Amino acid sequence: MLIPIFGIIGIFIAPVAMVVLVVWLITRQKIQRNKFKAELMAKAIEHGQTLPENFFDEPKKLTQRDKYLPAGMINIAVGLGLSLVLWSIIPDVQNIWTVGLIPLFVGLALLIIHFIEKKKESKENAK
């Protein structure tokens, strides 16, 4: 009698708890980073050191083009892995392994976009 009740409650509470956990972890990380920066600045001032102006600048964000390469490689690996797993586990169903070709071709498309954008960017920088 209690198991279905806990199951239903768990289905609704688990996603909310996961979102709350992720937000809490991200906020905690930002607070710790800011605290570390403040301590570092205080120690530098205490010892008479000066910090460069860009010392606390955020690192350079990746451009959209830089994100295509790892995403493409991951999709290709997932597609190959899925094809191999489906081919080895379910050999009775004919051509079930072709399901893995979907992420594989998406990965290939992302790689093609990466290299096209790279060429376009190098031509723009040459001008």
**Ranges of the chain with pLDDT below 50:** none
> Looking at residue 4, what is its pLDDT?
82
Rounded to whole angstroms, the Cα distance separating 21 from 18 reads 5
> Looking at residue 73, what is its pLDDT?
95
> Looking at residue 44, what is its pLDDT?
87
Note the pTM of the prediction, 2 decimals: 0.53
> Looking at residue 7, what is its pLDDT?
84
> Looking at residue 95, what is its pLDDT?
87
* DSSP classification of residue 1: -
> Looking at residue 70, what is its pLDDT?
92
Query: What is the residue-wise DSSP string for 32-94?
Result: HHHHHHHHHHHHHHHTT----TTTTPPPPPPPHHHHHHHHHHHHHHHHHHHHHHHHHH--SST
